[in-house]
């Protein structure tokens, strides 16, 4: 079916790109991988703690940033120095880390690397 005379014929992809939705869709896809994950959260007593972790990392990036930078997080996990630098101010980089951490913490996926113990 032809479009309106004088207007371009766009595909859905063309329109999405024009509207700046590529980054939005990328982060939506990351988050959907978590909320539609078929893995188990584990035994009953850990579920409330995991739900708190999910809530913080999904809905409160400022709190998650404080958690990452102000706890033992950076001593427990190996993160590239460039990522550590970026997460201090870059919410996109921080949300990417949050999704990796949620997959690791909630479902045991190997999305993060624990530092080797020095003891």
Identify the pLDDT of residue 112.
96
**Could you write out the three-class secondary structure of the chain?**
CCCCCCCCCCCHHHHHHHCCHHHHHHHHHHHHHHHCCCCCCCCHHHHHHHHHHHHHHHHCHHHHHHHHHHCCHHHHEECCHHHHHHHCCCHHHHHHHHHHHHHHHHHCCCCCEECCCCC
Identify the pLDDT of residue 2.
60
User: Residue 59: how many CA atoms within 13 Å on its side-chain side?
Assistant: 7
Break the chain into its structural domains and give their ranges: 47-111
Identify the pLDDT of residue 3.
65
Identify the pLDDT of residue 41.
81
Identify the pLDDT of residue 9.
85
Q: Please state the pTM of the whole predicted model.
A: 0.82
How many whole angstroms separate alpha carbon 72 and alpha carbon 92?
A: 22
Per-residue pLDDT of the chain (119 residues; tens, 9 = 90+): 566 777 778 898 888 889 999 999 999 999 999 999 988 887 777 888 889 999 999 999 999 999 999 999 999 999 999 999 999 999 999 999 999 999 999 999 999 999 987 54
């Amino acid at each position: 079916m032809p479009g309106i005379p004088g207007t371009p014929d766009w595909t859905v992809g063309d329109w999405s790109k024009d509207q700046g939705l590529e980054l939005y869709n990328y982060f939506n896809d990351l988050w959907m991988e978590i909320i539609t994950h078929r893995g188990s959260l584990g035994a009953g007593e850990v579920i409330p703690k995991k739900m708190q972790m999910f809530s913080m990392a999904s809905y409160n990036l400022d709190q998650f940033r404080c958690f990452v930078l102000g706890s033992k997080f950076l001593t427990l996990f190996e993160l590239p120095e460039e990522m550590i630098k970026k997460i201090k101010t870059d919410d996109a980089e921080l949300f990417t880390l949050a999704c990796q951490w949620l997959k690791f913490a909630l479902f045991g996926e190997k999305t993060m690397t624990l530092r080797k113990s020095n003891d």
